[in-house]
């Protein structure tokens, strides 16, 4: 008779666990790149436009796959990411403070640089106070989540950035989304809410410049609606500060209404060539955010090099207003150029200029062909845009040369003609 022990129930169970399929929670992950799906087919055909590595980036020009391309898909609006003055400021900050703060602003993560930047930005935006966050996404999420709560009402444009949406979800406030840029619809919602819930506090949250269309929000009417219905107004000016307005102060300043907006947020990952974000407003509101906004309290603070980069970019923005003037000239030139060629660019008013292509597959092929022509842009497909309205999101910087711009237009015309897009795309 064998001395070997009989298999135990536990051993059998362990064996079953080892060979079991992965949890059903991950089924959607395994289906995401199903061979019959659009993304898998795009990868198979080498049309997949996302996560493509950039080997070098000098601003208006970049190296991809060993080839130089004109960069028309960056948010580096002032063209400062490779400016020697900015690079030197970042390097000096590392020498003085090290590479990181290793703690939140609440504890050991506040440097004198952080305080300098908050003071400078409050002054620049003509506000009482400013608070910094470690990313632009965290800024909007953290501000909305802290300001609005259970029992409050939030009114949010349907095309708002995902970070505002995340903030509304985290806040537990009741959120009502109005049709994109349809302020008549917003007014109907506000009037109904005022009649039915007169005691509830209200927040209107909207992008100042919409990141896909390049449209500017109707800030004067938003201010009027906010005042009429006792609502706070928050503008996300990620794509507006350092881009539009007489001094680059953003969407409200474009209408001369900078001090009539309750909260203005911005990011450092665009015109300020860094990473992080900020919110300006009345001092008591900002001080409240310092103590109640979870992303601010529980995240490590902006690294020294990032802060120094923003400070230097702010210096350059204020000292060299010709950069803004050049950016506006470029934007007008490209918008007019695309329209003359027969492209649909929606209602763009800024350096963000969408070029509508149509269906998703055509969009991916259009993107690949542009890259082969030496132009890098961003392919945008549903759900980020409506079905049938997939587009090339182009964006421009003050350092683009006339040669760069003409090369982009020539490439678009050549590829657009090849794919039958010119003159055939729909109206937004």
Q: Closest Cα partner for 253 from 232, 261, 327, 183?
A: 261
CA gap 184, 282 in Å, rounded: 29
Which residue of the set 134, 171, 211, 274 is catalytic? 211
Q: Closest Cα partner for 397 from 347, 344, 301, 329?
A: 329
Burial code (b: 16+ CB inside 10 Å, e: under 16) for 49-80 equals: beeeeeeeeebbbbebeeeebbbbbbbbbbbb
Q: Is 282 within 8 Å of 129 (Cβ atoms)?
A: yes
How far, rounded to the nearest angstrom, does the alpha carbon of residue 81 sit from its chain's CA centroid? 17
- 357 CB contacts (<8 Å, ≥6 apart)? 363, 366, 390, 391, 392, 419, 421, 425
Which residue of the set 114, 202, 270, 296 is catalytic? 270
Which residues face 233 on adjacent strands? 204
CA gap 75, 88 in Å, rounded: 21
299 is annotated as an active-site residue: no
Residue recorded with tokens 């802060």? 307
How many other CB atoms sit within 10 Å of the CB of residue 364? Answer: 25
Strand order in the sheet with 352-358: 352-358, 390-395, 378-380
Q: 3-class SS at 109?
A: coil
Which residue of the set 161, 202, 239, 407 is catalytic? 239
211 is annotated as an active-site residue: yes
Strand order in the sheet with 129-133: 129-133, 277-281, 263-267, 231-236, 202-207, 153-157, 174-178
185 is annotated as an active-site residue: no
Q: Closest Cα partner for 382 from 38, 71, 30?
A: 38
Q: 3-class SS at 278?
A: strand
Point out the residues that are catalytic: 211, 239, 270
């Amino acid at each position: 008779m064998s001395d070997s022990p009989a298999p135990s129930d536990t051993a059998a169970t362990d064996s079953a666990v080892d060979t079991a399929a992965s949890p059903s929670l991950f089924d959607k992950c395994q289906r995401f790149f199903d061979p019959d799906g659009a993304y898998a087919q795009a990868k198979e055909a080498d049309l997949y436009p996302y996560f493509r590595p950039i080997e070098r980036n000098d601003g208006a020009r970049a190296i991809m796959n060993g080839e130089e391309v004109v960069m028309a898909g960056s948010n580096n609006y002032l063209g400062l990411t490779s400016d020697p003055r900015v690079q030197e400021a970042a390097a000096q900050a590392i020498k003085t403070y090290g590479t990181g703060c290793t703690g939140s602003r609440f504890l050991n993560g506040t440097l004198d640089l952080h305080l300098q930047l908050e003071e400078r930005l409050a002054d620049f935006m003509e506000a009482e106070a400013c608070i910094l966050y470690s990313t632009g996404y965290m800024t909007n999420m953290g501000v909305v989540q802290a300001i609005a709560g259970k029992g409050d009402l939030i009114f949010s444009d349907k095309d708002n950035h995902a970070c505002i949406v995340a903030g509304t979800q985290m806040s537990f406030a009741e959120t009502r989304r109005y049709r994109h840029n349809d302020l008549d619809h917003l007014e109907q919602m506000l009037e109904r809410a005022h009649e039915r819930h007169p005691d509830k506090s209200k927040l209107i949250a909207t992008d100042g410049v919409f990141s896909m269309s390049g449209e500017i929000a109707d800030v004067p009417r938003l201010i009027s609606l906010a005042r009429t219905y006792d609502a706070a107004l928050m503008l996300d000016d990620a794509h507006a500060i350092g881009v539009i307005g007489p001094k680059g102060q953003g969407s409200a300043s474009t209408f001369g209404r900078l001090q009539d907006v309750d909260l203005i947020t911005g990011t450092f990952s665009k015109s300020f060539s860094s990473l992080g974000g900020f919110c300006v407003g009345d001092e008591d509101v900002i001080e409240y955010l310092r103590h109640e906004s979870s992303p601010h309290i529980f995240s490590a603070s902006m690294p020294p090099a990032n802060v120094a980069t923003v400070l230097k970019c702010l210096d350059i923005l204020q000292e060299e207003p010709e950069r803004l003037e050049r950016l506006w000239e470029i934007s007008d030139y490209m918008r007019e150029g695309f329209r003359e060629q027969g492209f649909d660019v929606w209602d763009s008013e800024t350096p963000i200029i969408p070029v509508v292509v149509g269906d998703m597959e055509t969009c991916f092929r259009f993107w690949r062909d542009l890259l082969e022509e030496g132009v890098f842009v961003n392919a945008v497909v549903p759900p980020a845009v409506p079905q049938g309205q997939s587009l090339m999101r182009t964006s421009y910087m003050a350092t683009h040369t006339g040669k760069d711009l003409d090369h982009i237009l020539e490439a678009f015309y050549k590829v657009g003609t090849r794919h039958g897009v010119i003159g055939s795309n729909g109206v937004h």
